[in-house]
Amino acid sequence: MITRFWLFHCAFARVPREAIIQDGGWDLVRLPMLCGVAEHSELGPILLDAPYGHEGPSNVGSLMGSVMRRTGLEFQERWSVVARLEELGLRAADVGHILMTHLHHDHTGGMKSLAHARFHLSREEWDFAHSGSNRRSSMRGYARTDFMSLRNRVELRDPVPHLLDGTAGLDLFGDGSIEMFFLPGHTPGHCGFRLHLAEGPPILFVGDAAFTIPQIRDDENMGFALRTIASSMGGVRTSLRAIRRHIERHPEDRLITCHDFELGARCIKEGPISFS
Ligand SMILES: [Zn+2]
């Protein structure tokens, strides 16, 4: 049973709003890198994505990492995943499971520092992250060094059901606490998770299926950076339609995307925020 869920940021970047939202203008906004942790009464803390370990954005190479920091990526070591878990009174050593929406570098930097855990992700994502040369893969947004030594810690889920009307997701732990859904488009193997808390409505954690919640709710169009990063914009639109239909059927669900401006602003102002 999940008793509590926390959301916090591990970094934020200053980017022109236009990069994320079409016709959003060129003012700089804070794009957060968000991470979630669910407290499960039997399984211990379960992490959703693992953005940034203690080395921060250097997971893309020290040169590129320092360029990112000079161009507006704000990272502090006390925001890295292990430090965040400690801040919440949780022990990194107790984290047994980490659910990965996808393997882009801003979601994987903390994987090595939690290498004792099991990582759950789709087979499609793993295969795509390993296809082609290292250079090509890094151009697609992957930092293979974050996970290349972790193959024996990875549980490749296959098949993962699409988020469709009335279809149950993959029951990850056999207790109905977390369902996994296939939401491809941003990357070919991108997934989302629906968490059933002991109290309160479910949480629908959709990773980078959209960057902001208004992009899901209001049909706000995606900016150039998102269109460039997406492996298939057709897939992105199909996944967004599926999330919208799900929300029409389940308006009580609490939506989380990994880069939502408003959730990020709350986390930056208040520190980790609790959903329970
Ligand atoms: Zn991504």
Map tokens 């990875």 to a residue. 154
Query: What's the gap in Å between 42 CA and the centre of ligand 1?
Result: 30
Can you tell me the distance from the alpha carbon of 184 to that of 100, in angstroms, rounded to the nearest whole number? 13
pLDDT, tens only, 77-119? 999 999 999 999 999 999 999 999 999 999 999 999 999 999 9
Mean pLDDT score of the chain, rounded to an integer?
Answer: 95
Query: What's the gap in Å between 34 CA and the centre of ligand 1?
Result: 11
Best CA proximity match to 270, nearest among 93, 29, 32:
32
Map tokens 């290498």 to a residue. 115
Rounded to an integer, the average pLDDT of 37-63 is 93
What pLDDT score was predicted for residue 165? 76
Residue 132 has pLDDT above 90, yes or no: yes
Phi, psi dihedral angles at 133 (to 5 degrees) = -75, 165
Best CA proximity match to 37, nearest among 7, 12, 9:
7
Rounded to an integer, the average pLDDT of 218-228 is 87
Question: Domain of 192: which CATH number?
Answer: 3.60.15.10
Query: What's the gap in Å between 33 CA and the centre of ligand 1?
Result: 10
Residue 218 has pLDDT above 80, yes or no: no
End-to-end CA distance of the chain: 12
Structure tokens at 215: 């992009």
What pLDDT score was predicted for residue 203? 98
Residue 199 has pLDDT above 80, yes or no: yes
Residue 23 has pLDDT above 80, yes or no: yes
Can you tell me the distance from the alpha carbon of 59 to that of 181, in angstroms, rounded to the nearest whole number? 28
Query: What's the gap in Å between 185 CA and the centre of ligand 1?
Result: 10
What pLDDT score was predicted for residue 93? 97
CB 153 within 8 A of CB 119: yes
CB 242 within 8 A of CB 164: yes
Query: What's the gap in Å between 208 CA and the centre of ligand 1?
Result: 5
Query: What's the gap in Å between 27 CA and the centre of ligand 1?
Result: 22
Rounded to an integer, the average pLDDT of 1-5 is 97
Map tokens 């980078």 to a residue. 208
Can you tell me the distance from the alpha carbon of 172 to that of 47, in angstroms, rounded to the nearest whole number? 13
Residue 122 host element (H or E) = strand 118-122
How many structural domains compose the chain?
1
What pLDDT score was predicted for residue 72? 86
Structural domain of 191: 2-275
Rounded to an integer, the average pLDDT of 129-133 is 96
**Vertex 51 angle, CA 49 and 56, to 5°:** 165
Rounded to an integer, the average pLDDT of 4-13 is 97
Rounded to an integer, the average pLDDT of 185-198 is 98
Choice between 68 and 261, residue whose per-residue pLDDT is larger = 261
